Amino acid sequence: MIDSILRYEFLQNAFASGLIIGVIAPLLGVFIVVRRLSLIADALSHVTLAGIAGSLYLSQSIHALGLLNPLYLGITASVTGSLFIERLRRLYKHYEELAIPIIMSAGLVFGAIFIPLAEGFSSDLFSYLFGSVSAVSRQDLWIVVIIALIVVLFLSSFFKELFVLSFDEVYAKASGLPAKWIHVLFMVVTALVIAGSMRIVGILLVSSLITLPVAAAMRISKSFKQAIFFSIVFGELAVIVGLVSAFYLDLAPGGTIVVTSIIILLLTILSKKWRGKGVLSQ
Amino acid sequence: MDIPLIRLDNISYQYEQTKALTDINLTIKEGDFLAIIGPNGSGKSTLLKIILGLLKPTKGEVLLFGKPANQFKEKERIGYVSQKSNAFNTGFPATVEEVVRSGLVKKIGLFHRYPKNVQIEVRQALKSVGMENFAQQNIGDLSGGQQQRVFIARALISNPKVLILDEPTVGVDSKNVRSFYLMLSHLNREHKITIVLVTHDVDAISKSISHVACLNRTIHFHGFKDEMDSMSDEQLEAWYGHAVRKVDHRNEVQV
């Protein structure tokens, strides 16, 4: 396996970007989950797919756009979708969750229009939906590296503000924090992570990598610091086990990563139950 | 003459077509322990939100520490404790220490980290509310009364001059309500913190407070608690919206 990684660039790209995403997706995921925004990842991933399909269609129709990496338009669509979600959440103050199905349907509709229009895209569709070990290019890897740097910069700059906003939004506003702007930035960074994670995990499973490691970590964490630590550990574990098994079993990595995440989640649920019954202490 | 910490001049507020507050004039001086009381829907929480800058009055001016509210930047000088039931998700994975520490967020400012000695400050804040042994507990594992004490510690950690509490005893069992108010009384007397709270517990609070403001869209009475005795039955009825009976137990006033 190590031999193959050293020999083939596509495996290096897949593993390097997988390891980076295994950190940033659950890291941001902790804030997404505690803010009860888990479904936003699903909505934005569908918008990203529409952006990618649109990009492929445009690159075929407009010659000058032929060399454009479809991920760029995917990222643009995702960020635009995140800003629309924010706008809709403010517009429907008392029904904030409405923003998610609205944006998700918009993403699906544009996806349904552009996928048949973009010639040849249907054959790649499976890899976009469930991820692919062989599809990550060196350029995709660099995009993931840049997104990771943005996430680290954002979280290190606004960590304490995000904690307050997540824990008690009214208190955050009463304390004079620029809650609105921090939230908009948070949504944009979330959109970037979703678009960046897509090549490895796939559109349909990207939200799982953001939420499942966090769900498992929350079962065993007593502090916020611990929740972040365990989320990253579980995210990395899922990515490593998932990518290795996808390589050997010739499966889509999105599926194997998410199955590993589900197993980790089940183990944390069971371990808490066993501990509760004193099974582990005996 | 001392500048009042909070001054409201002719404040009115309207939610779309409904008038919530009309011509409110209120002055809160250093050392006051003021209870804002009134029936449901009387505008108590709206008034607090206006003081905190969460709502903009449709008319009038709020002065904080002598400055117009929109020019007042030292928000850490005003501590806020919201209603426990609305405040947070009890499943949130955070320790008491992490929650209390977050009270420094405004004082420290954007792009700065917590200072290295933050644990000492957290311990002192927790000690002042009698919760020093709970620093490593998960916030969701505490009782309602203990959680409210933690939220007061979060407000105290930035050394505020004023503490504003919105119905702080909602969700606190009656056994702990009295000790909760005694703690507030201690903070007011010993730590010289001005306290403003909105409450329904007129009975439980009456021993601790120095001032009362009776609110029902407008202020019907504001003064020393003992002076509330002088309110006539007509004034009481106008304030509460229906006939109320005043019961006087030594220096307690109940309505």
In a domain, A197, yes or no: yes
In a domain, A163, yes or no: yes
CA A21/CA A15 separation, integer angstroms: 10
Chain B: nearest CA to A72, how far in angstroms?
29
Q: Identify the CA nearest to B144 among candidates B116, B114, B174.
A: B174
> Inter-axis angle of helices B118-128 and B144-156, to 10 degrees?
130
| Residues of chain B with C-beta less than 8 angstroms from the C-beta of A223 | 93-95, 97-98, 136, 138
In a domain, A282, yes or no: no
Domains in chain B: ranges and CATH: 6-87+161-254 (3.40.50.300)
Say how many CA atoms lie within 13 Å of A239 toward its Cβ: 28
Is residue A252 within 8 A of residue A127, CB to CB? The reply is yes
What is the reported pLDDT for B248?
A: 57
Q: Identify the CA nearest to B33 among candidates B201, B179, B206.
A: B206
CA B252/CA B207 separation, integer angstroms: 6
What is the reported pLDDT for B243?
A: 63
Kind plus residue range of the DSSP H or E element containing B89? none
Q: Identify the CA nearest to A202 among candidates A78, A80, A51, A49.
A: A49
What is the reported pLDDT for B36?
A: 92
* Chain A touched by B105 (CB under 8 Å): yes
What is the reported pLDDT for A121?
A: 73
CA A183/CA A181 separation, integer angstroms: 5
In a domain, A227, yes or no: yes
Q: Which chain B residue lies closest to A176 (C-alpha atoms)? A: B75
Looking at every residue in chain B, the average pLDDT score rounds to 85
Mean pLDDT, chain A cut into blocks of 10 residues (282 residues total): 76 91 95 91 91 87 79 92 91 87 93 85 79 85 95 95 92 89 94 89 88 95 95 96 91 92 95 69 47
What is the reported pLDDT for A1?
A: 67
CB nearest A175 (choices: B75, B91, B110): B75
In this prediction the ipTM stands at 0.85
What is the reported pLDDT for A124?
A: 77
Would the pLDDT of B107 be above 60? yes
Question: Going by C-beta distance under 8 Å and a sequence separation of 6 or more, which residues neighbour residue A63?
Answer: none
Q: Identify the CA nearest to A247 among candidates A137, A144, A132, A141.
A: A132
Chain A: nearest CA to B179, how far in angstroms?
24
What is the reported pLDDT for A100?
A: 92
Cα-Cα end-to-end distance for chain B: 35
Query: Do the chains contact at A222 and B136, CB–CB below 8 Å?
Result: yes
Residue span of the structural domain in which A108 resides: 2-277
What is the reported pLDDT for A132?
A: 84
| Region B4-14 average pLDDT | 93
| Residues of chain B with C-beta less than 8 angstroms from the C-beta of A215 | none
B196-238: per-residue pLDDT in tens? 999 877 776 777 788 889 888 888 888 887 777 677 777 777 7
Report which DSSP code applies to B138. Answer: B
The number of distinct structural domains making up chain A is 1
CATH code, domain with A253: 1.10.3470.10
